[in-house]
Amino acid sequence: MSAFNMSVSLNRRSLSATSPRLVLVNRFGWVSRWFPLLLVIGFAISFLLVMGGGYLYLLPSLSKLAFSHVQESPNVNRSLRDCYFFDGDWVRVPTYPLYNATNCPFVERGFNCLGNGRSDKDYLHWRWKPKSCDIPRFDVHKVLNMLRSKRIVFVGDSMGRTQWESLICMLMAGVEDKNSVYEVNQNKISKRIRFLGVRFSAFNFTIEFFRSVFLVQPGHIPKHAPRRVKSTLILDRLDEISHRWVDSDVLIFNTGHWWVPSKLFDMGCYFQVGSSLKLGMSIPAAFRVALGTWASWIEKEIDQNRTRVFFRTFEPSHWSDQTRRTCNVTRYPSLEPNGRDQSLFSDAVLEVTKSMTVPINVIHVTSMSAFRSDAHVGNWSDNPSVPDCSHWCLPGVPDMWNEIILSQLYTD
């Protein structure tokens, strides 16, 4: 018994002594078998923690990038400085127009088509979308502050006056006290007045318009001129009021609509260079000479460190025939420009400005405006008996020209 008991006791001691080792071996065997999986799981958890922390750190930037992508276009990485604004499409935007012409005292009655009885409003809801960029949404308060203490000057014909009225109404939408915006000489808007200036007193800036339909100086009948000559355009002299255009911060020109036989030769108006009468000079040739005079004046008189100069090209009309007596205003933009996207006047502006030493921003609206057969005044003017397929309803196409100009100014 004693031997048996001793044997059992030793066996128990041996068993008790070897049990921890067996357990340890069994545990390490389990670990060795599952070690590769545990390593993968650990690596995955570490990777997720690192990426999660990085995401939280970058979240504001990523959110901003995602928002910009939604708001802009796939080409958002292209700067507005590099954008060609005038190749694009008209896109329907329900949030347009930017203002109500009836509530703006600076819109001529003849351009307020809705106020004059136009019933369809489809023409109001189109915005230009360039192919290579997005024009920033108009932010009236940002623009008002950008223009603070500035002087903006428009020079040109009635199309320029329409654009001038458009800009004033766009900006008035952000002014609380409408009485703080006024014409400096208390004049009512009229095509017969050579100078109109509207002051935004709360922001200390003015938007001015100078009527100069040819840009160059009208002349009298030269001595020994034929009877058919009633007046002249002196092509080598800029308009006598040009000295009032200097010292501006933004200077916007347009011309072209009066450079037609009905406004010149049919009225007995011919061209003059110096004291020489040019009876045989064509209108396109005279236009180029006049542009050269304008370009020389800009290079001599304008401080390019202060003044940003724009030249808006010729915008097409949509008369039904050459007589300009019938006008078919469509309900929607036309699908084809039908040749109206080309203009000798626009080509001349592009050619002359390319060779200038002063940088000129050409607002090439000819192509983009060619599609807007829906946006003219038509029979909805202050004189419905006289159709108008040249001028534009307000709000309307000129608002987009101003948005392009403002976006370029803001980029700088």
For residue range 200-223, what is the model confidence (pLDDT) as tens digits? 999 999 999 999 999 999 998 888
> Which residue's entry shows tokens 């990085």?
54
Arithmetic mean of pLDDT, 326-347:
92
0.75 cut: is pTM over it?
yes
pLDDT at 62: 31
Q: How far apart are CA 77 and CA 132, in angstroms?
A: 10
Per-residue pLDDT band for 410 (boundaries 50, 70, 90) equals: confident
8 Å CB contact between 393 and 111: yes
pLDDT at 330: 95
pLDDT at 43: 56
pLDDT at 47: 52
Arithmetic mean of pLDDT, 284-292:
98
Amino acid at 406: L
Tokens of 301: 């008189």
pLDDT at 223: 86
Per-residue pLDDT band for 39 (boundaries 50, 70, 90) equals: low
Over 60: is that where the pLDDT of 322 sits? yes
Per-chain mean pLDDT for the chain: 85
The burial of 7, by beta-carbon neighbours within 10 Å (0-12 exposed, 13-18 middle, 19 or more buried), is given as exposed
Closest CA to 218 of 195, 242, 239: 239
Over 70: is that where the pLDDT of 352 sits? yes
Enclosing H/E stretch for 325: none
Tokens of 80: 């507005």
